[in-house]
Amino acid sequence: MAAEVPRKKKKRKGRENKKTRTVLPNTLSEPNQRYANNQIKTTKYTLLSFLPKNLFEQFHRFANVYFVFIALLNFVPALNAFQPELALAPVLFILSVTAIKDLWEDFRRHRSDTEINHLDCLVYCREHRRYVERFWKEVLVGDFIRLRCNEVVPADVLLLSSSDPDRLCHIETATLDGETNLKQRQVVRSFYDLDCDFDPLKYNSVIECEKPNNDLNRFRGYIIHSNSRRDALYKVNLLLRGCTVRNTEEAVGIVIYAGHETKAMLNNNGPRYKRSKLERQMNLDVFWCVVILLVMCVFAAVGHGLWMFQYRGQRPVFEVLSPDGSDLSPITSSLYLFLTMIIVFQVLIPISLYVSLEIVKVCQVFFIHQDMDLYDEDLDSRLQCRALNITEDLGQMQFIFSDKTGTLTENKMVFRRCTVAGVEYSHDANARRLAMYQEIDSEEEECTSRGGTLPRRDSIGSHHSAPMHHSAPVVLRSHSTKSHRRTGSRAEAKRASILSKHTAFSSPMEKDVTPDPQLLEKVNDCGAQLDFLRLHGRPWSQLPSDLADIMDFFIALTICNTVVVSSPDQPRHKVRLRLELKSPVKTIEDFIKRFTPSRLTSGSNSSSSSSLATNRSSARGCSSILSSPSAESTLTKLEEEQQQSLNHAFSSTPPSYDRKLWQEGAKLRYEAESPDEAALVYAARAYKCSLVGRLPDQVTVELPQLGKLSFELLHTLGFDSTRKRMSVVVRHPLTDEITVYTKGADSVIMDLIRTEDTGKRRKKILFRTQNFLNLYAADGLRTLCIAKKTLNKEEYTYWLQRHLEAETSIQGREELLFESALRLETNLQLLGATGIEDRLQDGVPETIACLRQAGLQIWVLTGDKQETAVNIAYACKLLEPEEEILTLNANSQESCALLLEESLHYIQTKFLSSSSPFFQPPSSSSSSCHSLPFMVHRLGLVIDGRTLAYALDRSLEDTFLAVARSCRSVLCCRSTPLQKSMVVKLVRNKLKVMTLAIGDGANDVSMIQVADVGVGISGQEGMQAVMASDFALPRFRYLQKLLLVHGHWCYSRLANMILYFFYKNAMFVALIFWYQFYCGFSGSAMIDQWYLIFFNLMFSAFPQLVTGTLDKDVSSETLQRLPQLYRSGQNSEGYKPYMFWMNMLDAFYQSLVCFFIPYFAYADSDVDLFTWGTPITTLALLTILLHLGVETKTWTWMNWFSIIFSIFLFFSVALCYSATCPTCSSPSNPYWTMHRLLSEPLFYLLCLITPVVALLPRYFYRACQGALFASPAGLGAELKTGPVFEPHFLSLSELVKKDCKMSSDFSKAPANQDTAPQVKEGTGRTPLVVTPASTPLQVQTAGVQVTLPPAGGSQPVKYSRKSEEAEPWQSDHAAANEKQQLGAQASLPITV
Amino acid sequence: MVKEEQETANRPDNTAFTQQRLPAWQPMLSAGIVIPGFVLIGLAFIGIGVALFVTTRSIQVLELDYSGVEQSSPCFKCSDTSTKNCVCNMNFNLDKLFEGPVFFYYGLSNYFQNFRRYGVSKDLDQLSGNLDNFENPTDDCVPFQYDANKKPIVPCGAVANSIFNDTFKLYQIIGGTKKPVPLDGKGIAWWTDYNIKNRNPSVTPLKNAFNGTVQPSNWPKPAYELDPTDPANNGFINQDFLVWMRRAALPNFRKLYRRIAEEDYAQGLPAGNYSLEIAYNYPVLSFDGRKKVVLSNVSWMGGKNEFLGIAYLVIGSLCVVMSVVMLIVYAKFKFPDEE
């Protein structure tokens, strides 16, 4: 025991050591060889390991093991049915196809690895004392690397030096996270003040950092200098592998992680594998195949035993003794036979099914990829399929869970209105301008040439009150891209053009904000007053408080963000407008030093030495606050000095300069991490408060009348989703106070506002702002609150001390920083609030309507506040004005339970009393819920995040689901990412439905991962959602075609193919089974073993692949026009359990035909075994191919080709095979069989009649189905070609018939009745449903319409027109408001 | 131009193939096509059926069961397996000319030549004259691979061992005297079997090749002495042997024994009385088998088989009936609408 304890300790120590990594520079010591080098190897195999490893992996698949087992069974002499070697062939074939595929993929990986490994980079060489070119793979941890502009970073590098005067390095991380805005990285602080070039030889520090991990947004560590001083290292010091250096001529860094240990590589996960619903169903039927196989084998074995038994010792001459010369007992013999039969019938389990499915799915993915309709011209992005094997799931979706922001909306944030100090500025002109943009957008869609749109935008811009700023950026933008192209390489130019398009926050619509005249006047007034105050040396506090609030409001808008400024001439170049070089406060000493007089002197010196004057500190002294008592005297003295220098500075600024700068400011481009930030900065610029430069420690702002002001940026407390706010701590240059500007969600900010001991005015502001916030939210605007707080020195010092502790700690740094931020953001003073509009994406209402018509239930899960969400929901037609809205807001578990009960009760009384069949009490529901008969129409559910948390509790989830399922639309507001995924999981597991989650942001990732199919919008919020998704779309509206067309096709194709596969194998195997009755159940086969084994692999393989890839049961146009057709996939109508059995029955029938027609035709003749068996093989092949032909809906030349090729292949192989090797392939030995057959007329006569007889029932069924009782899908297929191409008298009657059929189909959900709910549904939205669903009489009237040839021809058009009429586009807010009011009136009085 | 390319780097190919817009034929299963189609197929089939039926009607077949199950049968005495070298005579009478060429078959019933382990039991290499396989026959032949003295059996295997060994002689009885009908045993096996597949070892005399081997246990004489009259009909290329080795597909089968196409009988067997002399050796009653002799002539489509003709007629009629049914159903749906 005693001995163990120290060992444990040692272990722990060892582990502790392992927790960090120590990096020494390679100039001093030996290379850090124990760390991975930079060579990457993403290949799975080596030449040696390929075979065993690949085989091992393949044998994880059960089917492969089964087939190998059977092949091995063949090697047992007592059992063998085929030549053992031959029996191995199919397994080997399948294994080798997969192996070759794997090998090819691996080889491609290897090639790209080699390519990447052999990229060049500059590495410092100790011997040569300079940087030399090396391959990437030769880079080691500890190497110094020099990076030049536009180079890709070869490894994770700690930035030690940069040519940038601010010691920054700009990188683009598009390859990592898809975010296209530039990011800044900082040189490690200790090397910050290094003026000369960085010399690796002088570097002698040691870096301690955490072990390699895959968190892109975290890096912790510290650097230990030779003087044993420690400096913390952050994420901002690290350049990640794969990023591109921009705007920085040169940077030097030391490699921290290399090769596979880099964060980029650790994040690199392979494609995701999911199993689709269809495949799960299929596996069940594979199991049934196994059962059938066993039954057949047992049957044969018993038959054989009886057959043997009847001879009872009298051994006939044709019976063969066992090898030892003794008689086999019937029981032993039938046991052997059982195993032999398994070998013979093995084909019943479709060996090539899995491989074929994979091939077809890859082809389907290719076609989805290639679809022009899913390509977005503006973004130049197309759909990506990231999961290769769930294409058919797209056709079976039942629930869609959608994010709102960026998914339904464009995520293009447009500043709409604001309130400052309790006064609302409605920005009417701005609203009008936005309305105009909407019109332009719709026009633009029709306009094909992109060039044509730009001038028009300009002309629109010139209508505005301040045209100067509006048209300029557009022109400049196009210029800038051109100039960039001229200089850069072609690839670079391409990149730039993409970037300029992707730089989302720069469309004129977002950039140009028409200022509210009232506010503008006040801002100007404020500027003038400030100017006056300054000139007269009066303190800032003399400003009227409302004007001061306005000023602070705009300053907050301008600086409380992380926006990077770049100039338009070089889109990716940050504006180099440095006024002063200073690092932010990082230590207490630093702080004290800086706020002591000496520091002030140096500061003012440096500022006066720089070309532009700054207003680092205001005229009003801050001694009482800032200086420590000991330094007070010096401070007062220096104050005067400073004031002089300031005055000097002001006078030196020529008045004209302002103007020029202002224009310059208008040209600046802002690159923001979130569109809201950019929108606010652009809004502030409209009021001439523009951000002109941002450095790590300083923000420069241009203010009206005042010119440039530099704010010393002390801290930035970045945004996070828990705090829902961000803050900056700055030193206000005018007051020299330490000021905190906070911006964040209204819910959190409002709670942080200081309410005690504030004046009446403040309270009034708070009250009025809250009112306006509610108004904004009701308008569907995104609201943000702006607040500020001034700190006195003591407070700041106290906070700073703990903040610095937090910053320097390695473990738990995030938590500590979070707490630190919480400590700071209290007792705020409310300045105002903004309303930002996030416009709906094009076609969202139509898409939602269409998807809903297709039977999909759409839930929207958003983090937005309730009012905003509800309004957007109205705008996108998720909620309809005539719907009742159930709103669930609860404060506690109990009230939530009560609410849910009440709602449930309400629904039951209301809808059950009107004898609605849709609703069932939740207790009995879980069994049959895959169909959607539970929807109660005209009911929307809105639930907020807090209530959702209660509702998702285990005790309430069933009730919640019961309520939610009865509603047509569900809207969850204020939901966290975790809640989103919980909702999806709940619905998926409890209702047993197929779910699709669509989202664009990081907060949707968990939801996307949980759903059956995850769709990411490759929009503007980075790539996290896309990375987690199975499919990535450029826009929401593409979901329509993806689901309705591709989903439907993929599903019906695969369903048909799988059924066909089962049929084909069963039909072929059954032939041999029937033969057992005529060969004493001895396991003998009349089909040559070669045919038997290669039938599936060669002769009948191609046509089904072609059909599985290309067949279209309904045309794309029809599928989109009649979304109802999607329901066939939802109800799994393409592959129902009975279909499997029907196909099996058909297979047995067909094989009976193919067996017995030759049997009787050759009965009592001198035909020999294989001369009789070969025609049977041929007949089976022809029948199987023609069967596929009957099932094929569209014939392209590829279908023809594949079928003809298959037949040709069979005959040529058969001819070759029976012309070679007269003594091989015992026992069949088919020498010359085929040639003889081809010379016999009987053979051809058989070939003519057998397939006809075999396919007659199926063809007759199809013909009846197609001609008499059309399915909706069939109807669609014919609608496309139109009745014009058909003989009149038939087609017309067909259409009528089909209408009836369709109506019954749609009303199938409540199979037994035909009352209220459908009529409701019909009047609600789909006229198509109304007509047929009501009464038989109406069906007939519809029929009359159709009977007239012209009307019949225009029928399909009429559908679409009607639906358009019924759903006019209503997106303006007036209408939305109205609706909202309606909804509010109708909503239940149960809101708690 | 360059600009456009750059702006659409991700643009998919807009071809008919990638957009799934290949020109395609959609088989419309509408009544307008289906009904006439069914009628056409039906009529064509009926036509073929009639032709086949007429053809097969013209074929003459004569079957004589000589298993000797019934006591009245002349071969009953031979059915006892203990009698050796039993000969029996079957008499039959032809009313009219049996048109030539007449094929002489022997038929076996309930005989499973397609039994799996039986079928495997032969050595193709041995039969193609490979001397190595004379010494070491393939394991497939077990238990007819070596005899009790470990001497290899040639030809080995169950198929060869169980060769049919009844022989027949046919006489026409003209005025009480028996006139032998010449039976032609040449070319009754497949040409490829005789010339390519099966080969005797190139050893002369053939007998020497068989040194050190034994004949199959059921064989009265070795393979090289099967036909003393014709040296080219011995060994593995003996026609009867070849016919036997080609296994029948079904348990009731017939195999070609001889052809009658020579001398006076070139036009066929004239009407009259005939006597068939059977050397009864092959035991079949132990497994409830039957033996018969079949005389038949053939048409262009083979031997007599009425099935195919009837099948064509039935299916053809069925198609026509179905089309009529569909037409009636259509009419029902059609006329109310037009009113």
Continuous H helices in B22-149? 31-57, 116-120, 124-127, 132-135
Cis peptide before B143 (omega within 30 of 0): yes
The answer to whether A1082 contacts B305, with C-beta atoms less than 8 Å apart, is no
> Which residues from B are below 8 Å from A77, CB to CB?
139
What is the mean pLDDT for each group of 10 consecutive residues in chain A (1392 residues)? Answer: 40 50 73 73 82 84 82 82 80 85 84 86 83 86 85 87 79 65 77 68 82 79 82 84 81 86 72 76 90 95 90 75 69 89 87 86 90 83 82 92 83 79 78 64 39 36 37 33 34 40 49 76 81 76 77 84 66 44 47 43 34 34 34 38 42 39 57 75 82 80 79 80 80 82 82 76 84 80 84 85 79 79 83 82 88 90 80 83 84 88 84 48 37 58 88 88 86 85 90 90 81 83 73 89 93 94 93 94 89 86 92 88 89 91 95 95 90 94 94 91 95 92 76 90 93 92 71 52 36 36 37 35 32 30 29 31 34 39 36 32
Residue B31 to residue A1294, Cβ atoms within 8 A = yes
Q: How many helices (H) and strands (E) does chain B have?
A: 10, 10
**Hey, are the CB atoms on A380 and B7 less than 8 Å from each other?**
yes
pLDDT score, position B259: 92
Please judge whether B256 and A1166 are an interchain contact, meaning their C-beta atoms are less than 8 angstroms apart.
yes
pTM, two decimal places: 0.75
Chain B nearest-CA distance from A1168, in A, is: 4
- Name all contacts of A701-704 with Cβ < 8 Å and 24+ positions apart: A701/A555, A701/A558, A701/A559, A702/A661, A702/A662, A702/A665, A703/A527, A703/A530, A703/A551, A703/A554, A703/A555, A704/A523, A704/A524, A704/A526, A704/A527
For an interface test with A, give the residue of B115, B188, B322, B323 to mutate (most A CBs within 10 A). Answer: B115
A807, A813 contact by CB (below 8 A): yes
Question: B22, B53, B114, B197: which to substitute to probe chain A, counting the most A Cβ within 10 Å?
Answer: B114
DSSP A783: E
Q: Are A1185 and A1103 in contact, with CB atoms under 8 Å apart? A: yes
Best to test chain A binding among B110, B116, B284 (most A CBs inside 10 Å): B116
* DSSP category for residue A420: E
Secondary structure of residue B5 in the 3-state scheme: helix
Over the range A678-696, which residues count as b (16 or more CB within 10 Å of their CB) and which as e? bbbbbbbbbbbbbbbbbbb
Residue of B nearest to A77 (CA): B140
Of A322, A1086, A1195, nearest to B24 by CB-CB distance is: A1195
Distance CA A1045, CA A374 (A): 11
Neighboring chain B residues of A1046 at a CB cutoff of 8 Å? none
Q: Do B6 and A493 touch (CB under 8 A)?
A: yes
Work out the burial of residue A874: count CB atoms within 10 Å of its CB; fewer than 13 is exposed, 13-18 middle, 19 or more buried: buried
Instruction: State the nearest Cα–Cα gap between A381 and chain B, in angstroms.
Output: 6
In DSSP terms, which residues pair with A123 in a beta bridge? A132, A145
Size of interface A-B (CB pairs under 8 A): 292
- Chain A residues touching B289 at Cβ < 8 A: 316
Contacts of B292 in chain A (CB under 8 A): none
Which of B1, B19, B20, B324 has the highest number of chain A CBs within 10 A, making it the mutation to test binding with A? B20
Q: Are strands A399-402 and A995-999 parallel, antiparallel or unpaired?
A: parallel
Predicted ipTM? 0.95
SS3 A1211: helix
Q: Per-domain residue ranges for chain B?
A: 33-59+300-324, 65-97+112-247+271-291
Q: Which residues of A are catalytic?
A: 403
Residue A268's pLDDT is what?
Answer: 63
Annotated binding site of A for ATP, which residues?
403-405, 677, 719, 743, 782, 862-864, 974, 980, 1003-1004
Contact A1164 B305 (CB under 8 A): yes
Q: Is A110 helix (H, G, I), strand (E, B) or coil?
A: helix
Residues of A in contact with B253 (CB under 8 A): 1164-1167
Give the pLDDT of residue A1146: 95
Q: Which two tokens stand for residue A640?
A: 């005067």
Which residue in the block uniquely carries the two structure tokens 């002591």?
Answer: A596
Amino acid at A1040: Q
Nearest CB partner across the interface for A1227, out of B9, B119, B302 = B119
Q: Give the residue on B whose Cα is nearest the Cα of A1269.
A: B30
Residues of chain B with C-beta less than 8 angstroms from the C-beta of A1080: 112, 115, 251
Contact B190 A1078 (CB under 8 A): no
Tell me if B12 and A318 make a contact (CB, 8 A cut-off): no
CB contact under 8 A, A1222 and B7: no
Q: Which residues of A are annotated as a binding site for Mg(2+)?
A: 403, 405, 1000, 1004
**Chain B residues within 8 A of A1179 when measuring between CB atoms:** none
For B24, the closest of A1079, A1167, A1196 (CB atoms) is A1196
Chain A residues inside the 8 Å CB shell of B112 = 316, 318-319, 1079-1080, 1082
Contact A855, A1126 (CB under 8 A): yes
Query: What distance in Å separates the CA atoms of residue B268 and residue B256, rounded to the nearest whole number?
Result: 17
DSSP-derived 3-state class of residue A1017: strand
Smallest CA–CA separation between B29 and chain A, in Å?
5
Distance in Å, alpha carbon of B205 to nearest chain A alpha carbon: 24
Residue B146: closest CA among A596, A1053, B137 = B137
Q: How far is B151 from chain A (nearest CA, A)?
A: 16
**Pick from B10, B116, B190: CB nearest A1082:** B116
Do A1220 and A1237 form a contact (C-beta atoms < 8 A)? no
